């Protein structure tokens, strides 16, 4: 048994319980019952006929086969059929029962209009995951012919064995093909888990940004509600029309500010509910939205934001995602500078893209870790960082927006994040 | 100002007391001040951050009888100011009311603040009645401990 097959078979020690189970189901299609049964005896020497359904032919153990040992499970579960129709029926039935075949041995000449190769083509259209091994003494169809008939897409789905074959060859082919089937299922299963985990991490990262901004929102709301309640109470107590009017004006202003904060916060939180198509966006407007979300934290840490003379630059993109990118980068810059510092923002435009530079006046990124900061799960923040911020920013910029995100140290000190986005149009 | 149930025996002369109000939001400072004016306070000091407030603390000629301070502010925050006050030679016992807006971190904050002897805390947004009650409460407690002059 191959190492991979062993690994899969011993999966209970390596993989979670819900990982795919090994599949040792083999279909044998040969119009000569003796050959079909011969293959079964090789693959299923322990009298395992009782394990397959009663529709199967009984196994006559060949002379010299050791008697079955009690409690030993056979390596393979074999179904033997003689006709094309029966073969298709078995494959379809197996799929329906959720017990697909991992592989099959196919005689090339089946005595009817349809030969083994045409049958395999039909079977692959029903169950594209199944592997086929052709058993042939037939020279009209060369191996090349099989390949061109089954097509490039099935190139790895088949193999062949010449008659007369040995027991060892049959066992080897069956083990190889079933192991391949297992490996592919395991790979699919792992990819699904990876994709699920990726989705969860994206969600987590978004929540981290939302939580960071949420603390600012809570603070601002606390203040705004204090304005509203305080002015209302004082106006009622004093009961003077002119003071009432000015109190009401303050209240309305505070309410408007609160509504705006809520709107911005929702737009950050709703990054998953983005429109299906990217829209035209003013880069500075996106930056301002992200800055407004960070305003309190910047103020608290005495972080100044310096902008180069604003140039009106439009890009095509998803607003919520880009706000999330800028908030993430601002949070990183803020953490890099601890208390007090500057964030320099510059937006420029070339023929085909807009470039946004976000630079901090922190210590910069040590050269030895610079190539790694963009890697998922890399973090310098210990348990507090998920290590996903920049990796997700890169994904949003490069995959979602077909742009580019570069992390570098600025010649004048500090870290600089350069984001290039496809420009929309120039307007002066 | 009379202590409830004391039948006028213990009074606080609010007009004589100086209240230091520290908040980076000017409107919040004004609301606190206006509310305290309605119950007789007349002398106020204002600071927009802990650093400016600390200057009043360090000024030996400046009277400070009560501090009402926001927790989260730029530069020096409320907790840093509280520590500075409690560590001060002559002002270590000045009543200190902490104002905060973040409910979720409340427990941690109160525990931390308690370690440094904050006298009361107020959560934003607050009603005038809550503010006045807390101010009464800490001033009467301080008077009983004779940490401020009545």
- Kindly report, residue by residue over B25-51, the tens digit of the pLDDT: 999 999 999 999 999 999 999 999 999
Q: Which residues of chain A have a Cβ shorter than 8 Å from any chain B Cβ?
A: 215, 218-219, 221-231, 233-234, 237, 250, 254, 296, 299-302
- Identify the pLDDT of residue B5: 47
A78 DSSP β-pair partners = A26
Is the bond preceding B125 in cis, omega lying within 30 degrees of 0? yes
Q: Do A158 and A120 touch, CB atoms closer than 8 A?
A: yes
Is the bond preceding A164 in cis, omega lying within 30 degrees of 0? yes
The Cα of B22 is separated from the nearest Cα of chain A by a number of Å equal to 13
Who among A221, A229, A299 is closest to B74 (CB)?
A: A299
The Cα of B77 is separated from the nearest Cα of chain A by a number of Å equal to 8
Cβ neighbours around A169 below 10 Å, total: 15
- Identify the pLDDT of residue A424: 74
Scanning B36-95 for CB atoms below 8 A from A yields: 38, 72-75, 77
For the cut 60, the answer to whether the pLDDT of residue A189 exceeds it is yes
Closest Cα partner for B136 from B25, B29, B40? Answer: B40
The angle formed by the CA atoms of residues A149, A151 and A157, to the nearest 5 degrees, is 105
Phi, psi of A125 (to 5 degrees): -75, -25
Who among A218, A223, A300 is closest to B25 (CB)?
A: A223
Chain B residue closest to A230 (CA)? Answer: B31
For chain B, counts of helices (H) and of strands (E): 5, 5
Q: Which contiguous run of DSSP H or E holds residue A304?
A: strand A303-307
Inter-chain touch A233–B124, beta carbons under 8 Å: no
- Tell me how far the alpha carbon of residue A358 is from its chain's centroid: 29
Q: What is the mean pLDDT of chain A?
A: 81
Question: What are A104-126's pLDDT values in tens digits?
Answer: 999 988 888 888 999 999 999 99
Inter-chain touch B124–A234, beta carbons under 8 Å: no
- Identify the pLDDT of residue A50: 39
Do β-strands A341-349 and A353-360 pair in parallel, antiparallel, or remain unpaired?
A: antiparallel
Please report the sign of the dihedral spanned by the C-alpha atoms of residue A77, residue A82, residue A86, residue A91.
positive
DSSP per position, A23-63: --EEEEE-SSHHHHHHHHHHH-TT-GGGGS-TTSPPP-PPT
Q: Could you identify the residue written with the tokens 């074959």? A: A165
The more confident residue out of A204 and A395 is A395
**Least confident among A13-17, A168-172, A264-268:** A13-17
Q: Do A60 and A49 touch, CB atoms closer than 8 A?
A: no
Residues of B in contact with A233 (CB under 8 A): 35, 127-128
DSSP 8-state secondary structure symbol assigned to residue A276: S
For the cut 70, the answer to whether the pLDDT of residue B10 exceeds it is no
Residues of B in contact with A229 (CB under 8 A): 125-128
Phi, psi of A163 (to 5 degrees): -80, 145
Give the pair of three-digit tokens for residue A376.
Answer: 């998922």
Report the largest interatomic distance among the alpha carbons of chain A, rounded to a whole angstrom. Answer: 114
A307 DSSP β-pair partners = A345
Pick among B22, B29, B33, B34 to test the A interface (most A CBs inside 10 A): B34
Buried b (16+ CB within 10 A) or exposed e, B25-57: bebbbbbbbbbbeeeebeebbbbbbbebbbebb
Residues of A in contact with B72 (CB under 8 A): 219, 296, 300
Inter-chain touch B75–A302, beta carbons under 8 Å: yes
Inter-chain touch A222–B101, beta carbons under 8 Å: yes
For the cut 90, the answer to whether the pLDDT of residue A361 exceeds it is yes
Scanning B104-123 for CB atoms below 8 A from A yields: 104, 123
Cβ neighbours around B73 below 10 Å, total: 24
Closest Cα partner for B135 from B30, B14, B52? Answer: B14
Summarize the confidence of residues A97-107 as an average pLDDT: 94
Residues of A in contact with B126 (CB under 8 A): 226, 229
Chain B residue closest to A295 (CA)? Answer: B74
The more confident residue out of A312 and B4 is A312
B123 DSSP β-pair partners = B100
* Cα gap A208→A217, rounded to integer Å: 14
Inter-chain touch B101–A250, beta carbons under 8 Å: no
Q: Do B128 and A233 touch, CB atoms closer than 8 A?
A: yes
Contacts of A245 (CB under 8 A, 6+ apart): none
Give the pair of three-digit tokens for residue A225.
Answer: 């509600």
* Cα gap B73→A216, rounded to integer Å: 11
**Least confident among A190-204, A214-228, A372-386, A408-422:** A372-386
* Cα gap A405→B6, rounded to integer Å: 70
For the cut 80, the answer to whether the pLDDT of residue A172 exceeds it is yes
* Cα gap A323→A306, rounded to integer Å: 18
């Amino acid at each position: 048994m191959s190492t991979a097959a062993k690994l899969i078979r011993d999966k209970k020690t390596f993989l979670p319980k819900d990982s795919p189970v090994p599949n040792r189901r083999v279909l044998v299609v040969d119009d000569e019952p003796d050959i079909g049964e011969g293959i079964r005896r090789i693959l299923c020497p322990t009298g395992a006929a009782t394990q397959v359904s009663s529709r199967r032919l009984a196994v006559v153990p060949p002379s010299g086969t050791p008697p079955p040992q009690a409690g030993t499970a056979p390596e393979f579960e074999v179904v033997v059929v003689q006709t094309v129709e029966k073969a298709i029926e078995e494959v379809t039935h197996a799929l329906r029962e959720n017990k697909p075949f991992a592989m099959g041995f196919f005689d090339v000449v089946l005595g009817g209009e349809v030969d083994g190769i045409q049958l395999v083509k039909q079977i692959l259209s029903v169950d594209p995951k199944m592997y086929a091994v052709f058993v042939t003494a037939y020279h009209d169809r060369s191996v090349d012919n099989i390949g061109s008939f089954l097509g490039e897409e099935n190139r790895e789905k088949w193999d062949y064995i010449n008659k007369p074959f040995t027991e060892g060859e049959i066992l080897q082919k069956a083990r190889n093909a079933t192991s391949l089937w297992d490996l592919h299922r395991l790979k699919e299963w792992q990819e699904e888990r990876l994709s699920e985990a990726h989705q969860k991490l994206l969600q987590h990262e978004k929540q981290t940004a939302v939580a960071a901004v949420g603390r600012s929102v809570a603070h601002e709301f606390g203040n705004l509600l204090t304005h509203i309640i305080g002015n209302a109470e004082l106006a009622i107590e004093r009961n003077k029309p002119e003071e009432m009017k000015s109190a009401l004006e303050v209240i309305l202003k505070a309410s408007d500010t609160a509504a705006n904060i809520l709107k911005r916060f929702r737009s950050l939180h709703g990054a998953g509910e983005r429109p299906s198509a990217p829209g035209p966006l003013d880069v500075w407007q996106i930056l301002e939205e992200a800055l407004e979300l960070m305003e309190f934290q910047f103020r608290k840490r005495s972080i100044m934001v310096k902008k180069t003379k604003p140039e009106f630059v439009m890009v095509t993109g998803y607003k919520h995602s880009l706000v999330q990118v800028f908030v993430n980068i601002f949070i990183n810059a803020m953490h890099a500078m601890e208390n007090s510092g500057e964030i320099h923002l510059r937006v420029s435009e070339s023929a085909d893209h807009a470039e946004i530079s976000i630079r901090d006046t922190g210590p910069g990124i040590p050269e030895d870790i610079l190539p790694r900061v963009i890697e998922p799960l890399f973090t310098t923040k210990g348990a507090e960082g998920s290590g996903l911020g920049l990796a997700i920013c890169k994904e949003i910029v490069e995959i979602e927006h077909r742009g580019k995100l570069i992390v570098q140290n600025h010649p004048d000190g500090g870290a600089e994040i350069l984001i290039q986005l496809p420009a929309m149009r120039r307007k002066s | 100002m009379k202590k409830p149930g004391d039948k006028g025996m213990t009074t606080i002369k609010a007009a004589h007391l100086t209240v230091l109000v520290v908040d980076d939001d000017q409107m919040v400072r004004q609301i606190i001040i206006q509310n305290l004016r309605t119950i007789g306070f007349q002398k106020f000091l204002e600071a927009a951050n802990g650093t400016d407030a600390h200057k009043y603390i360090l000024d030996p000629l400046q009277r400070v009888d009560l501090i009402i301070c926001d927790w989260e502010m730029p530069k020096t925050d409320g907790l840093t100011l509280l520590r500075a006050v409690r560590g001060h030679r002559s002002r270590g016992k000045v009543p200190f009311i902490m104002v905060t807006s973040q409910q979720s971190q409340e427990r941690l904050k109160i525990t931390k603040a308690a370690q440094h002897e904050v006298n009361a805390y107020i959560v934003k947004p607050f009603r005038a009645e809550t503010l006045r009650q807390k101010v009464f409460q800490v001033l009467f407690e301080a008077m009983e401990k004779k940490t401020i002059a009545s």
